[in-house]
Amino acid sequence: MDIEAKKQPITRIRESYFSSVTDMNRYENLEDITIIWLDSQMNESLDCFDTQLRLRHIINYLLTFDNIDACVDYIQSYVQDEKLFFIVSGIDGELIIPKIHFLPKISSIYVFCADKARHEQWIKLYSKIRGIFIEKDSLFKKLTSDVTFCLNNLLPISVLGRSNIIQKSIRDLTSEGATFMWFQLLIEILTHMEYSKSEKRELLQICQVQYRHNDAENKKIVEFETTYSANQAVWWYTRDSFLFRLLNKALRTENFDIIYKFRSFIADLHRQLVEMHSVQTQTLSSNETFYRGQRLPFDELNKLKENINGYLSMNTFLSASTSSEVALMYSGDGEDRPTLESVIFEIEISTSVSPFANIKTVSYFKTENEVLFTIGSIFRIKDVLPQTDTIWLVQLVMDKRENQDIEQLTEHLKKEIGDK
């Protein structure tokens, strides 16, 4: 076989891949992060192809630019809800970073170039720059770590003030109070329905479309399709895969179409936690305390301060730790101020209420002593106070009284809906 013949399959694969990148704008990004790569010297070499392929294994939704003006226009007009991770060459970075660094949608910036010494001084002016990277492997390692941290900090919550508990009509609830209660009703429905194999097929179809150009994630989708069983729900949820990323984005953005596609998996995960909870409570004390380190936008922290003795709903499956030291590590110790505040949630619970379980034996990461609360778990906001100069302590309580208050309101609203 001659050299040209050998090159043809590689060329076809490369051309197919680059065409897939150019059509990214044609479908919705169902993950929480978009990655943008700007390099005016970008070409269609095998090295460039390999870099893009490996980036897609970290963040599925990748957009590339070789023109600074076009890139600036795109970023400044970007209205989607995703976080933007931005990779740029050193020369292009000097020109574009001053124009975009201040934008809240820009989460992190990575300078990817061969001449580190040339750019070490000016990058000190920009706090979102995560470093200068000469080697691809070091860039991918840092990017993977930052993506994991970012996804774990996108916590969908809603707050119900005490005044809403007194209200006896849907129309009297505040807007956020109504959202809070509608979510509780939705989760109750989804976790109590019976499902067949058709729901799994619906979920697989939307995942296959979203990751149709991502070979690494497609392998996980095939694995899920062929091996998944309901008693593996926790294992799949704790794995970094399409399930964790798509479900949490849908919950955070209240994308009910996508949430509905996940209905059978949500029910499986909830039921596995219920089963584990019923076994584990036999050996637990009546009250336990868990911790979660988090970085919250200032307005969300302020909302918690304004609703002491109100209620906080975690509109996802909430993970926490038995260790306050682990929570402290994840809180960030004020390093993201003023954009984000470092918070430690101290969660006091009566072990007889809402399902939660220590998932160490069934998690994908069996070395972590992690507790997982079921979706929509509700806590009373006991207090919000400074723990140090850089960290806030949010004290949450979950006991029978809290559950009874919400259950009474939920039942009343269900009756009101049924009477209409």
Stretch 341-348: mean pLDDT, rounded? 96
**Residue whose token pair is 């990017």:** 143
What's the rounded Cα separation, in Å, for the pair 300 and 216?
35
Least confident of 106-115, 122-131, 232-241, 284-293: 284-293
Which whole-number Å values give the CA distances from 61 to 22, 69, 214, 225, 394, in the listed order? Answer: 11, 21, 10, 23, 34
Tell me if 264 sits within 8 A of 228, measured CB to CB.
no
What's the rounded Cα separation, in Å, for the pair 60 and 240?
12
Domains and CATH numbers, the chain: 3-152 (3.40.50.2300), 157-419 (3.90.176.10)
pLDDT at site 335 = 83
Residue 254's region, left for phi above 0, alpha for psi from -120 to 50, else beta, is: left
pLDDT at site 418 = 60
Q: How far apart are the first and last CA of the chain?
A: 75
Whole-model pTM: value is 0.88
pLDDT at site 406 = 74
pLDDT value at 16 more than 50 = no
pLDDT at site 4 = 47
What is the number of other CB atoms lying within 10 angstroms of the CB of residue 371? 22
Q: What's the DSSP call for residue 101?
A: T
Band of residue 233 on the pLDDT scale cut at 50, 70, 90:
very high
CA 82 centroid distance within chain: 10
Query: Each residue of 346-366: pLDDT tens digit?
Result: 999 988 887 899 999 999 988
pLDDT at site 419 = 56
Query: Each residue of 140-160: pLDDT tens digit?
Result: 999 999 999 999 889 999 998
Single-letter amino acid, residue 350:
S
pLDDT at site 12 = 41
How would you classify the pairing of strands 340-350 and 391-398?
parallel
pLDDT at site 404 = 73
